[in-house]
Amino acid sequence: MRRIRTARAMRVWAEERHAAGDRIGFVPTMGALHEGHLSLIRAARRSTGAVAVSIFVNPLQFGPSEDLVRYPRALAQDLGLCRKESVDVIFTPKVAELYPPGFETTVTVIQLTRRFEGLSRPGHFEGVATVVTKLFNIVRPDRAFFGQKDYQQALVVRQLVKDLDLDTTISVCPTVREADGLALSSRNRFLSLPERRAATILYRALSAGRALIQQGERSARKVRQAMVRLIRSEPLSRLDYAAVADADMLEEFHVVRGRAVLLLAVRIGKIRLIDNMVVTCH
């Protein structure tokens, strides 16, 4: 496994791989890797000839009230995990490499970012869209892999790839969960034992909403109310948002139809967690 720190060297590697006839699979991360990230790396390995992983804690996607400094960092462990997964190259640029002095251009996806995470975290998706665009221009991946847990982010990335004519296919892979349903997240490590037990309320609420739809309920208000009741039944939880929306455009439903996505953002103690489920109405 090769570690690269500069954009120039990363571009050279990508050019060499393409010249050799390899298709590049790319997994962009902020590090603190867990089984969810590893599932993306394995998906990249199965479908492409060369696998690149980036580790970059992107300051542009953190708001003023969010603790960039506290975000978990475990580079030595991450490198070891990538090596075990036979990653070909790991790109670990410093902030000044991607955002040098005088940097002032950002990328904005307008409609998809006006609600949910975009509303709760102003500027977040502008930071995501900007760094993803830069990384795609540097790594030149044929296919990039994202997890369904960050559902809105995956839609935003797909939209910017389409709108900017980037030559990359986006693959969204299933959320990886613990045995009790909790979606894997780098932030889970900050949960105390009681908070960790309480955090299963997200999966239980989503499952309850899905069950209602599968049983024939088509009132989005009733489905949402069922999820909210469960979240509020947990004393350690504080609801940010709960929604029942169109799975493609994230417009909230009045009447559930077609492919729907159930979305939750909940604070367990001080830790903010997000999760979702996609349900198809028959």
Enumerate the active-site residues: 37
Report angle CA 255, 152, 154 to the nearest 5 degrees.
125
DSSP secondary structure of 119-178: HHSTTHHHHHHHHHHHHHHHH--SEEEEETTSHHHHHHHHHHHHHTT-S-EEEEEPPPB-
Q: Is the dihedral of CA 163, 164, 167, 170 positive or negative?
A: negative
Residue 39 host element (H or E): helix 35-47
The 3 state secondary structure assigned to 242-263 is EEEEECCCCCECCECCCEEEEE
Continuous H helices in 48-123: 75-84, 95-98, 117-120
Confirm if 139 and 24 have CB atoms less than 8 A apart: yes
- Contact residues for 189 (Cβ-Cβ < 8 A; gap 6+): 32, 72
Amino acid letter, 83? R
Q: Which residues pair with 267 in a beta bridge?
A: 238, 272
Q: How many angstroms separate the first and last alpha carbons of the chain?
A: 47
CA atoms within 13 A on the CB side of 224: 19
